[in-house]
Amino acid sequence: MPSQLNNPLHGITLEQIVTELQAHYGWEYMGYEINIRCFTHDPSIKSSLKFLRRTPWARSKVEALYLSMLEKRH
CATH number at residue 37: 1.10.720.30
Residue 1 is assigned to a structural domain of this protein: no
Q: For residue 67, what are the domain limits?
A: 12-73
Residue 49 is assigned to a structural domain of this protein: yes
Residue 5 is assigned to a structural domain of this protein: no
Confidence class of residue 8 from pLDDT cuts 50, 70 and 90?
confident
Residue 64 is assigned to a structural domain of this protein: yes
This prediction has a pTM of 0.89
Distance CA 49, CA 38 (A): 9
Distance CA 5, CA 66 (A): 18
Q: What is the mean pLDDT of residues 21-44?
A: 97
Residue 18 is assigned to a structural domain of this protein: yes
Residue 47 is assigned to a structural domain of this protein: yes
Q: Looking at the 3D structure of the chain, how many domains does it have?
A: 1
Residue 6 is assigned to a structural domain of this protein: no
Distance CA 39, CA 9 (A): 21
- The pLDDT value recorded for residue 39 is 97
Is the model's pLDDT at 1 over the cut of 70? no
Q: What is the mean pLDDT of residues 30-41?
A: 96
